[in-house]
Each structure stands twice: as structure tokens, then as C-alpha cells.
Amino acid sequence: MGIPIGEHTPVKPNPKRAEWLLTGPSFIWLIVLFVLPTLLVFAIAFKPFNPDGQLGPGWTLDSIRGLANPNYPAIVWRTLSLSAITTLICLIVGTPTAYFMARATRWRQTLLMLVIVPFWTSFLIRIFAWKVLLHPEGAIKNFLVFVGLADASTVLLYRPEAVLLVLVYTSLPFAILPLYAASEKFDFSLLEAARDLGATPWKAFLHIFVPGISRGLWTAMLMVLIPALGAYVIPDVVGGKEAEMIGNKIAQRTFNDRNLPHASGLSAILSLVILLPLVLGQTWQWWNKRKAGKS
């Protein structure tokens, strides 16, 4: 079989052609439906606004000027701080959990399944569950009133703390799973060696185990931080006006005012905010590698 294509490839089909046949479909699909749209986010911010939801002709700086909205710095700051705190909590809670799961021998499979189920459970339903719990007539409020920590007028929903709680709830499995994957490969005899050399359990955990799973920590950080920066559903359902994030503003500009160029400008800001930690992370890794290579 095989058609002679040139003098130098008498029997086998052209390997470059075979490679393109396998690469082409996904490559072209992603160029058209991922790369092109991502570039459009930056381009459409310069198009004029047309109230029918379509784009006007020509180019303008109106939307860029619109981004100088005095409410936006506070919203960007809230997005950054809520995402950062969520990531921190998830890493602090996730690391000892992953440690325990990796060391548990008999219960490991069960524990893993118990962490995977919430990971698979519908995202909306997990958020809704908290709306029910935090509801003015819900279980947590009743409990807090019962033990005297709250009175009838306390509002648990529609505040940044509620958004933070639910962000942690939905993100935690995304932190635990990569941390567990890294812990599973960790050589626990190193901890015993550290103990034999006189380190306290806490010191051994902090100085041997935590650096040992650093790759897992990086993955967990990205898996939590990036979706949190783009959060929209959580602040929309359990947060109120006082807990809005960039995602809410993008959705409002898109669906309430049909102002696509403005939404596009906001999305461009969000993209840049997300690129920042990625670039920092890459630089940090590159710098560490260089340092390791030198010593």
C-alpha cells in the first residue's frame, strides 16, 4: 500500500501529511472556536455600542472610557481579594486532608470516592444547597439564633462572606485532588527520617512534606484561583449588590444592557488579571530551575 509521492519516499505515505491529518481537525477547530474568539475579546472592546445587541460599524474608544466607571476599582479589588483568600483557605485545608488520604491505607479508596462525588455533583446544585442553608428560614440561621450567636434580623445571605464560603465549598475538591495526586507519590519515609533526626512532627510536615508536594500545590492553586477570578454564578446567587465580582458585571453588560463592547472591555481586564498569575508562576518556576541548575 502507499502511493509513491516523491523520489525519496517510495513506499510509506508522507509522514508530514499523516501528522497533519491527525493534528488538523482539533487544531483548526481550536483556532476558530478558541483562539479567534479570545482575540476578539480585545478587538470588540473598540467597537461602537449598538443597543440591539449587535455591533456598530467603525471603531471607537467609548467602551475603554466607560471602564473608568468609579465602581469598578472596588469590584476588581473584591474579585482579587475573594479569589486570593479562597485559594489560601483551600490550600491550607487541602494539604493536611491530602496528607491524611495518602497515608490512609484501608480507607484510601473510600476517601477518594467521597472527595470525587462532590467534584462530579452539579455545580448549580451545590450552590443552591448553600442558598437553602443560609436562607433566612434555613437551618444555619435557626441554629445560630438558638445558640444565641445571631438574632432574627441577622442576614447570612447576600454578603461577601457568603460568597467566600461557597467559593471555598465549590473549589475545595479541585484543590484536594491534585494535592492528593502529589502526596500519593511522596516518599513518607522521609518524614520518619526527619523525626529520627529530631524534627517535631509539625516541622517535618512543613519543611519536608510541603516542599515535597510543591507541584501539586501549584496545580491546586491554579485550579482554584483561575475559576474563582471568573466566578459569576456564586456571587449572583448568594452574594448581593455588595458582593459583586467582575463576572457579574460582564454578565450584566451582556444581558441587561446588551452592550457587548463594554462587556468585551471588562473581559479583557479579566483576561489580563488571569494572565498575570500564570506569567508570574512561569517566571517563578523558570527562576527556581535556574537557581537549582546553578547550585
Contacting another protein within 59-118 (CB under 8 A): 93, 96-97, 99-101, 103, 109, 111, 113-118
Among 139, 272, 276, 280, binds another protein (CB under 8 A): 139
Q: Which amino acid is at 163?
A: V
- The residue among 72 and 100 lying less far from another protein, judged by its C-beta, is 100
Q: Segment contacting another protein (CB under 8 A): 3-11, 27-35, 59-67, 146-154?
A: 27-35
Q: What does the DSSP 8-state code read for residue 241? A: G
Cβ-proximal residues to 41 (8 Å cutoff; 6+ apart), any chain? 264, 267, 268, 271
Q: Output b/e per residue, 68-103; b: 16+ Cβ within 10 A.
A: eeeeeeebbebbbebbeebbebbbeebbebbbebbe
Q: Segment contacting another protein (CB under 8 A): 19-27, 65-73, 146-154, 210-218?
A: 19-27
Distances (CA, A) of 61 to 107, 262, 266: 60, 10, 14
Region 224-283 residues binding another protein, contact defined as CB under 8 A: 226-227, 229-233, 237, 247, 250-251, 254, 260, 263-264, 267, 270-271, 274, 278
* 19 near another protein, rule: CB under 8 A: yes
* 219 near another protein, rule: CB under 8 A: no
CB of 111 to another protein, least distance (A): 7
Among 5, 27, 74, 272, binds another protein (CB under 8 A): 27
Among 58, 68, 137, 198, binds another protein (CB under 8 A): 137
- What is the SS3 assignment for 194? helix
| Residue 180 in grid coordinates | 492528593
Among 5, 61, 74, 129, binds another protein (CB under 8 A): 129
- The residue among 3 and 294 lying less far from another protein, judged by its C-beta, is 3
* 41 near another protein, rule: CB under 8 A: yes
Q: Segment contacting another protein (CB under 8 A): 3-11, 22-30, 60-68, 151-159?
A: 22-30
Could you tell me how many residues of this chain bind another protein (CB under 8 A)?
81
Q: What does the DSSP 8-state code read for residue 14? A: P
- The residue among 44 and 163 lying less far from another protein, judged by its C-beta, is 44
* 163 near another protein, rule: CB under 8 A: no
* 55 near another protein, rule: CB under 8 A: yes
d(CA 93, CA 167): 14
Q: Which amino acid is at 77?
A: W
- Nearest partner of 274 among 79, 34, 69, 91, judged by Cα: 79
- Nearest partner of 265 among 54, 69, 95, judged by Cα: 69
Q: Segment contacting another protein (CB under 8 A): 68-76, 146-154, 166-174, 210-218?
A: 166-174
Count helices and strands (H / E) in the chain. Answer: 15, 0
Distances (CA, A) of 134 to 125, 157, 170, 181, 242: 14, 6, 16, 33, 17
- The residue among 70 and 159 lying less far from another protein, judged by its C-beta, is 159
- The residue among 116 and 190 lying less far from another protein, judged by its C-beta, is 116
